[in-house]
Every structure is written in structure tokens, then in C-alpha cells.
Chain A
């Protein structure tokens, strides 16, 4: 019985996510949502440049 409730819970969770996505109008293609570069990738580039400046490698 516990498994049964787990299944129902899982179904409702996925359904809820999809309904929320639909309400937000999530039909944009991935390339339109993502920017050209990730912010963390830009941060890493800046960080490595600063590290190179300090350690001279």
C-alpha cells in the first residue's frame, strides 16, 4: 500500500511540474533560454586569469 501511495505521489509531482511549465508557457527552445556562455564558465575564466596574474604560471 505504501508503494501505491509512492506511485501516486510521483505521478502527481511530475504532473504538477508539467502543469507549472505549461502555465509559464515553457515552449521556448533551449538555445533561447540559455545564454551564449554559462555565468560560472565566465567566472572561472576571470578567476583563472587572476590566479595566473598572482602565481605567474
Chain B
């Protein structure tokens, strides 16, 4: 618990900025991470699709071959939506100075990021370091709440 508090407070002190600004930095880092992952998985999806389409005799065979990648695509969409929701909550925090809605959006975002990481590992994708960084930042914000 104390570890989490330290993890969350130190970055804020280093940045010397208000919590909403640090929160925006965390969300923006997550967004850049999603873009970095997208840059890796989109060409890989296209490449595996070409192979699966050539090798498959039926739609079912093709669908089965692409299942892992379709799961990754769905995980990406879920993460994108969770990020946009967290941004809406942060905008509300900045407008009304109530932090609760933003904090409430973080577990869904963290769950989406972790789920995406799991899916990328199943797909044997080299996970961009940005995703690990984003996970660390969102975890740090949640630890403040728990602490």
C-alpha cells in the first residue's frame, strides 16, 4: 500500500503539476501506446490474413485461423473506448473539480490495457514498451486511491 502511494506521489512531485495535468499526461501516454501497438498489429493482421485466406478452403477455416487476431482487434477497440471514456471523465474533473468520476473510469481502463497485453502475448506480438509504461502510470493513479 505504501509502495503504491510512493509510486503515485513521486511522479506528481517530479512533474510539479496539478493532479489533472498528471492525469492528462497518463492518458496521453496511454493513447500514444495504443497508436504504437496499432502500428505493430495492423500490418501483422494484414499479413496473417493473406496467408489464412490462401490456405483456407472454407469461411469457418478462415475464421478459425484469424480468431487470435480478431480477439486482438476487439481488445484494441475496447481499450480505445475505455481511453475515450477516461478522457471524458477527466474533462468533467477539470470542469467541475470533482475527481470521483475520473477515478471511477480507471479500473475499466486498466482492465482493458491488461486484457490487451494478454491478447498480444497470445498473438506472440512484440509488445511496444509504451504499453508497459501506460500500464505503470494507470496503476500508479489507482494506487493513490487505494492508499
Contact = CB atoms under 8 A, between A and B. Distances in A.
Given A18-B11, A22-B25, A55-B62, A33 B136 contact: no
Q: How large is the interface on B (under 10, 10 to 19, 20 to 34, 35 or more residues)?
A: 35 or more
**Chain A binding site: helix, strand, loop or mixed by DSSP?**
helix
Interface-centre pick from A13, A47, A55 (highest chain B CB count, 10 A) = A47
Interface in A3-48: 7, 10-11, 13-15, 17-19, 21-22, 26-31, 33-34, 38-44, 46-47
Nearest to A57: B59
Interface of A: 7, 10-11, 13-15, 17-19, 21-22, 26-31, 33-34, 38-44, 46-47, 50-51, 54-55, 57
